[in-house]
Structure 1
Amino acid sequence: MSSSPERVVVSGHVDRVADYYDDNTRRFLLVAESPGSDAIHRGVWTPDVGNAAQAMDTVNRLMIERLSGHVPSGTAQVLDLGCGVGGTMVRLAQEVDGFISGVTISRVQAEIAAKRFAREGLTDRCQVICADFAELPAEPHYDAMVAVEAVVHSPSLEKLLPSLVDRLRPGGRLILCDDWMTDKDRGMAARERCLDQFRAGWRVGSLHTVAELGAMAERAGLHLVEDLDLTAYLHLGRPRDRLIKVTVGATAVVPRLRDRLVEMPFWANMIGGSALQTGLSRRWLEYRLIVLEKA
């Protein structure tokens, strides 16, 4: 494993995703719901959660529960797609007896993750690759794959799924926790504007309904095991979110200004994040944990 991962040469949409995370990751860590957690995904406040640190760990815990009994002890190979700075990988390493690999398109994230594994004494069990997860090496094959708020960035989920299945062992699980589109108010102008701003701001390449995902998964050789809606357990409309909404709303007065701002990673996050809040609150989007299994 290289302690200083090199960023691969990418272009188009993938390049924009890489730039987005290279520019924003350190800020994400500073403003996380639970600073110091090294988690840049959302906190999920299920009834058993008592504090922000536990909320940030909810998705990790739910995934670990769904891997239990489905990966071999001692030789397990688990891959974290879009692994960020390695927070979920560390949690998996604590609970899964085996090897944890992660892939991120961001050079900044890969470097932070590698340093964390060194601090935690996990360099022999955790490896991070700086690459496009649509172009994984042919080997090794994995007993399970997880992805938290990551596959939404894929330029084509329909093309991505078969490539993942090829690298998943028979009976292996693919666990996706992400934002999924609903059919509510489909065609309504406000909804479509909101989703377009989410796509543009958060560099979203694949936004699908769970039904669409299920059909694509079946064609790729996966079947749907579980679909868990976590939307109600998100903390939406926090003071910070309301401030961002007002700030972003001011840019709508000059459409050309917003078009320019959305190309800048910081403002892209503000614009996309505000649209995401609206989409989730109106149930045009839902935050769901999906478990798929290879036949």
Structure 2
Amino acid sequence: MTSSEVQETVNDYYDECQVDYSMMWGTNDHLSMHYGYHDDEHESLEDAVINLTRVVADRAGVSEGDRVLDAGCGVGGSAVWLAQERGARVDGVNINEMQVEKARLGAEERGVEDVSFHVADYTDVPFDDDSFDVVWAVESVCHTDDENSFLREAKRVLKDDGVLVVADGFLGKGRDEMTDDENEGVDAMLEGMAAPSLSTVDEFRDALAEEGFQDTEFEDKYESVYPSARRMYLLTLVTYPVAKLLRILGIRSERQMKHLSASYQQYRMLEKGVWVHGLFYSRS
């Protein structure tokens, strides 16, 4: 697919599947759409999604007055939290107009002023060179077919010695190392979540180096995301019969059904080590 076709697919996915996130993930309450990081002190989903933002913010060293670019900001949860809890000034970009409007409304309802949300592509953002202390990307880079363009743009807008943090999914092994079942599972997962492809951890590390990032570190977050992955899987098992009936009645779309299939496969493939959820940290 061309880049414009990828963007159209991602837009359609979120337009049609936002209802699933609202109903099954509670995004209207906490404004977050990611897996979250579970631990002994953050066992509930709501606590976990907030904890992910906290952990990534600590790793990036976000502090009062820092300017942060939230690249692929979803419905604004991370941006709002960073402004509220860390005193950061945050610009969120997202190609999906509906989600940008939800992010703006969510910030307004919470009385958060130091955030701005823009309809823009994170590979071509409307900001000057050397503008940001941190570029933040949580489960958004998976939606591009050109990671290098994203990294190049992140490098452009970061100040000298600025920080890039990417929390996302990566392949745990190459496609040629996978069984037929694993390849089929990954294909279903990627199609259902509008992700054109995933890099391996090593491939993404190499791309960071190629674009001039340094001091790169990677943390595997398998244990942290496992409870959410399992929750998504169990919800799929429970809701699929009703969803299938709604599909027959024309109430649910084919894309929404593929999203459920992806929710099923992501857990199976995570358990097999076919993909990993990890946190990259690099400096410009």
Which of these residues, 48, 52, 58, is aligned with residue 55 of structure 1?
Answer: 48
Aligned to 1:126: 115
1:214, distance to aligned residue in structure 2 (A): 0.8
Q: Report the CA distance between 1:155 and its aligned residue.
A: 1.4
Q: CA deviation at 1:98?
A: 3.4
Matched, 1:232 2:223: yes
* Structure 1 runs, 4 residues or longer, greater than 3 Å off: 241-248
Tell whether the 8 Å contact from 2:70 to 2:79 is kept in structure 1 after alignment: yes
| Residue in structure 2 matching 1:136, options 116, 122, 125 | 125
Give the gaps of 5 or more residues in structure 1: 1-9, 251-256, 258-262
1:135 and 1:34, CA in 2 relative to 1: closer, same or farther beyond 3 A? closer
CA distance in 2, matches of 1:183, 1:13: 24
Matched, 1:67 2:67: no
When normalised by structure 1's length, the TM-score is: 0.83
| 1:268 maps to 2:263 | no
Measured in 2, the distance between the counterparts of 1:247 and 1:118 equals: 36
Task: Tell me the CA shift for residue 246 of structure 1.
Answer: 8.0
Measure how far apart 1:13 and its partner are: 0.9
Could you say which residue in structure 2 is the equivalent of 1:155? 145
Residue in 1 aligned with 2:177? 186
Query: Do the aligned partners of 1:241 and 1:274 also contact (CA within 8 Å) in 2?
Result: yes
Contact 1:182 1:284 in 2 (8 A): yes
**CA RMSD for the aligned pairs?**
2.6
Match for residue 29 of structure 2? 36
Within 5 A, what are the aligned runs for 1:1-295? 11-32=4-25, 36-68=29-61, 73-74=64-65, 76-123=66-113, 125-139=114-128, 141-183=131-173, 186-233=177-224, 234-235=226-227, 236-238=229-231, 239-243=234-238, 264-294=254-284
SS class of match (2:163): strand
CA shift for structure 1 position 79: 0.8
CA distance in 2, matches of 1:210, 1:135: 24
Counterpart of 1:59, as a letter, is L
Amino acid across the alignment from 1:214: R
How far apart in 1 are the matches of 2:193 and 2:215?
27
TM-score, structure 2 as length reference: 0.86
Q: Secondary structure at the match of 1:103?
A: strand
Mapped contact 1:82–1:104 kept (Cα < 8 A): yes
Query: What does the per-residue CA deviation read over 1:121-172, in whole Å, with 9 as the maximum and x for residues that have no partner?
Result: 223x100011221121242621101111110001111232112211111111
2:102, 2:140 → 1: CA distance? 18
Q: Which letter does structure 2 place at the counterpart of 1:198?
A: M
Which one has the bigger helix percentage?
A: 2
Identity of aligned residues (%): 23
- 1:206 and 1:96 map into 2 onto residues whose CA distance is 33
When structure 1 is superposed on structure 2, of 57-66 and 130-139 the one drifting more is 130-139
Corresponding residue SS for 2:280: strand
Partners of 2:147 and 2:27 in 1: how far apart? 30
- Structure 1 residues 213 and 26: alpha-carbon distance in aligned structure 2, compared to 1, 3 A threshold: same
Partner deviation per Cα, 1:209-237 (whole Å, 9 max, x = no partner): 11111111001011243311111232143
| Structure 2 residue aligned with 1:254 | none
Q: 1:134 corresponds to which letter in structure 2?
A: T
The one-letter code matched in structure 2 to 1:142 is F
Q: Which runs of 5+ in 2 are unaligned?
A: 248-252
CA contact (8 A) 2:75 2:99 kept: yes
Cα 1:17–1:81 shift into 2, 3 Å = same
Amino acid at match of 2:39: T
1:218 maps to a residue whose letter is A
Question: How much has 1:241 moved relative to structure 2?
Answer: 3.5
SS across alignment from 1:11: helix
- Aligned equivalents of 2:146, 2:79: Cα separation in 1: 25
Give the partner amino acid of 2:195: V
